[in-house]
Amino acid sequence: ETGVTQSPTHLIKTRGQQVTLRCSSQSGHNTVSWYQQALGQGPQFIFQYYREEENGRGNFPPRFSGLQFPNYSSELNVNALELDDSALYLCASSQGQGANTEAFFGQGTRLTVV
C-alpha cells in the first residue's frame, strides 16, 4: 500500500469523448507524474507536476492535459479519445524532484475506448 490512490479503477468511454482521471498523492508528496501503459508494454511518461506547475512532458499530444491542486492531488484529462488511448493510466507521487527520491505508484485506472 503506497498511499497513492487513483479513481476510477476502470472506465469505458466512446471514441471522441473526453475523460478525467484522478490521483491523490501520498501525504507530504508535492510531485505527481502520470504514465500510460499499453498492454504488454512498460509505462510511458506523460507529464509531471510540481507545486501545481507542469515541469516536464513526454511525447504526448496536447489533448493530454493535467492539473495539480493546492493539496497536491492531480487530474489527467484526455480530450477527443482515440482507440489507441486504451491503456492503464498510472499516477506516481514523490517528495521533491531529486533523482534520489523514490516515486510511489497508485494501482492505476484501466481506460477502455470503444
Partner 1 sequence: DAKTTQPPSMDCAEGRAANLPCNHSTISGNEYVYWYRQIHSQGPQYIIHGLKNNETNEMASLIITEDRKSSTLILPHATLRDTAVYYCIVRSPYTGAGSYQLTFGKGTKLSVIP
Footprint of partner 1 (CB under 8 A): 2, 4, 33, 35, 41-45, 47-48, 55-58, 88, 90, 92, 97-100, 102-108, 110
**Smallest separation, CB 110 to partner 1 (Å):** 8
**Smallest separation, CB 7 to partner 1 (Å):** 13
Give the type of residue at 95: Q
**Smallest separation, CB 78 to partner 1 (Å):** 18
C-alpha span between 77 and 19 (Å, rounded): 6
Nearer to partner 1, 30 or 44 (CB): 44
Nearer to partner 1, 13 or 57 (CB): 57
C-alpha span between 44 and 28 (Å, rounded): 25
CB–CB of 35/23 below 8 Å? no
C-alpha span between 110 and 36 (Å, rounded): 10
Written as nine digits, the cell of 9 is 479503477
